[in-house]
């Protein structure tokens, strides 16, 4: 018959921090499985933290790019508005000038028309 060895009390094999004081006990204990799982989880957390940091950096880079593009858009929009205002001003000045010239020419036509009288056959005769 085999005899099952008696377990040592927990206080005998553990130090103050809960770790096994004997390396042989640590390899044979169920705590080793937990240690492996904890180590894997810590590595996974570290990997996820690294990925999170990279994603945060990507977001910051994209936000920076968006800000730059918005600033460029606002600058181009203001430049375009200035150009439109300038073109409108030049157009208005040219239109005013042409309207003034047209009025002057109409006055000349009216003045010249008063100076000529039509005869019976439709020809105009100038008065002396």
pLDDT value, residue 89? 98
What is the band of 25 on the pLDDT scale with cuts at 50, 70, 90? very low
H or E stretch at 118:
strand 116-118
Query: Which of the pair, 34 or 53, is modelled with greater confidence?
Result: 53
pLDDT > 70: percent of the chain: 66
- Residue 47 predicted with pLDDT over 60: yes
Distance of alpha carbon 123 from alpha carbon 121, whole angstroms: 6
pLDDT band at residue 122 using 50, 70 and 90 as cut-offs:
low
Give the model's pLDDT for residue 46.
98
* Rounded percentage of the chain residues whose pLDDT exceeds 90: 61
Task: Please give the pLDDT value at position 49.
Answer: 98
Q: What is the mean pLDDT of the chain?
A: 81
Position 123 scores a pLDDT of 53
- For residues 66 and 58, the answer to whether their CB atoms sit within 8 Å is no
């Amino acid at each position: 018959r085999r005899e099952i060895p008696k377990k040592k009390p927990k206080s005998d094999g553990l130090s103050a921090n809960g770790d096994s004081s004997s390396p042989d006990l640590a390899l044979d204990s169920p705590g080793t499985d937990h240690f492996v799982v904890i180590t894997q989880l810590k590595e996974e957390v570290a990997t996820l933290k690294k990925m999170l940091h990279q994603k945060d950096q990507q977001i910051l880079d994209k936000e920076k790019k968006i800000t730059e593009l918005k600033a460029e858009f606002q600058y181009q929009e203001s430049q375009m508005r200035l150009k439109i205002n300038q073109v409108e001003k030049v157009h208005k000045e040219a239109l005013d000038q042409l309207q003034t010239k047209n009025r002057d020419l109409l006055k000349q036509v009216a003045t010249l028309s008063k100076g000529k009288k039509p005869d019976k056959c439709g020809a105009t005769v100038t008065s002396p």
